[in-house]
């Protein structure tokens, strides 16, 4: 009897141990903590925290498709010579904006790049890449000289400049919307032609120096700006010049016409720094041409240029907007065949059926008056762009 009781006890113990082990094995294992992506509302919509950090990131971009009818004004134009009468463009833009608040102020890293395919080939462009640290900005971004960069597509005939430059800038904020900026920028971006004395720029010595004073308030914004530009011929026997540019612009909110309507005025004068007046001088072919300086009579003489422009942006409804721009520019190249004046404008209409999508068309016109040229006759140029664009 004792042996039977011992056997039963042993079986019971073994069964209990086995059951306990099985139940322990069947218990659920606690999951690892998951760091979910959190919305960051400190810098506006679209930002989220990069997991494990206090840095907020926004990913955005744009897709653009264009069909262009190139110069079909007075001959010889693109339709009457060996040039593209029409052309196409597809562009994909990617933007990355990372921001962190710190004891020194905002720390921001920004990248704007695009891939593009034209009728003539493809390209990849790093349009912007800069770092902001408090009041300082370093890298490639919008030139601190530029103010009003237009309401039109800006493919042709703009009276303003819209340059992306390498810059090192400091901005001081005075309150009430007032600020001042001092910037050194890559001067090669704003170089135009030199005539005589080697007909080419020498190597880059000094960056351009730019300063502006700006105000932004409920009525709109305004800016006055100035720049110094190094002008130096490649020929060793020529002396360099210091070119300069000054300008002023104002952009006004005009809700009397529409809730988000704007009107802008801008004027710029340059002596030896034509690239600060307009950035579409390059449409002028061969001779005459825009210059920064003329070398004649044993000395260098800087080219004097100026331009005025205005634009109006109107929202007909939530889904339809249009703009019109007009401009006049003049170049005085020391009485040479490179003296000319021109005027023109752009007009467009854009339908926005859904948020972020725009379907529109634009016509650009420019009229040239060559003052002393026996090479070129006065002419006009006309261009049309059809664009479909989605921003996200």
Q: What percentage of residues in the chain have a pLDDT greater than 70?
A: 86
> How high is the pLDDT of residue 351?
98
Query: What pLDDT score does 56 carry?
Result: 98
Strand-strand pairing, 262-271 and 291-296: unpaired
pLDDT of residue 286: 57
The whole-number pLDDT of residue 21 equals 46
pLDDT number for residue 231: 92
Residue with the larger pLDDT of the pair 379 and 143: 143
**Which segments within 176-297 are labelled E, that is strand?**
178-185, 193-195, 208-217, 220-231, 241-253, 262-271, 291-296
Reported as a single tens digit per residue, the pLDDT across 11-33 is 444 444 444 444 444 555 555 65
| 265 — pLDDT class (breaks 50, 70, 90) | very high
Residue with tokens 């463009």: 89
For the whole prediction, is pTM greater than 0.75?
Answer: yes
- Taking only the tens place, the pLDDT of each residue in 144-191 is 999 999 999 987 767 789 999 999 999 999 999 999 999 999 999 999
State the pLDDT at residue 285.
55
Q: How far is CA 192 from CA 282, 294, 305, 341, 372, in A?
A: 9, 11, 12, 17, 20
Residue 358 pLDDT: 98
Averaged pLDDT, 381-385? 94
Provide mean pLDDT across the span 248-254.
98
């Amino acid at each position: 009897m004792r042996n039977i009781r011992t056997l039963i006890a042993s079986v019971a113990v073994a069964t209990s141990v086995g059951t306990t082990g099985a139940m322990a094995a069947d218990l659920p294992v606690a999951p690892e903590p998951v760091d979910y992506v959190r919305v960051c509302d400190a810098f506006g919509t679209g930002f989220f925290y990069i997991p494990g950090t206090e840095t907020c990131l926004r990913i955005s971009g744009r897709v653009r498709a264009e069909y262009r009818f190139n110069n079909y004004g007075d001959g010889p134009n693109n339709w009457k010579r060996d040039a593209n009468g029409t052309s196409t463009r597809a562009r994909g833009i990617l933007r990355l904006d990372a921001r962190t608040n710190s004891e020194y102020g905002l720390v921001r890293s920004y990248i704007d790049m695009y891939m593009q395919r034209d009728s003539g080939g493809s390209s990849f462009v790093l349009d912007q890449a800069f770092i902001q640290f408090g009041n300082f900005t370093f890298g490639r971004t919008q030139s601190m000289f530029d103010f009003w960069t237009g309401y039109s597509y800006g493919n042709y005939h703009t009276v303003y400049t819209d340059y992306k430059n390498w810059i090192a800038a400091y901005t001081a904020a005075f309150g009430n919307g007032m600020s001042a900026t001092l910037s050194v920028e890559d001067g090669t971006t704003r170089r135009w032609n030199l005539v005589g004395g080697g007909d080419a720029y020498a190597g880059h010595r000094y960056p351009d120096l730019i300063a502006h004073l700006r105000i932004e308030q409920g009525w709109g914004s305004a800016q006055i700006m100035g720049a110094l530009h190094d002008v130096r011929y490649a020929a060793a026997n020529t002396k360099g010049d210091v070119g300069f540019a000054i300008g002023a612009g104002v952009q006004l909110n005009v809700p009397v016409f529409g809730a988000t309507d704007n009107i802008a005025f801008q004027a710029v004068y340059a002596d030896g720094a034509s690239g600060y007046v307009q950035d579409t001088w390059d449409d002028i072919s061969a001779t005459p041409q825009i210059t920064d300086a003329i070398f004649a009579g044993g000395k260098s003489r800087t080219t004097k240029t100026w331009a005025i422009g205005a634009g109006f942006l109107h929202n007909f409804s939530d889904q339809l907007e249009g703009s019109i721009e007009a401009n006049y520019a003049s170049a005085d190249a020391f009485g040479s065949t490179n003296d000319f004046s021109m005027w023109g404008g752009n007009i467009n209409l854009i339908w926005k059926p859904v948020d972020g999508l725009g379907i529109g068309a634009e016509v650009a016109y420019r009229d040239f008056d060559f003052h002393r040229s026996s090479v070129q006759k006065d002419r006009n140029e006309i261009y049309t762009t059809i664009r479909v664009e989605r921003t996200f």
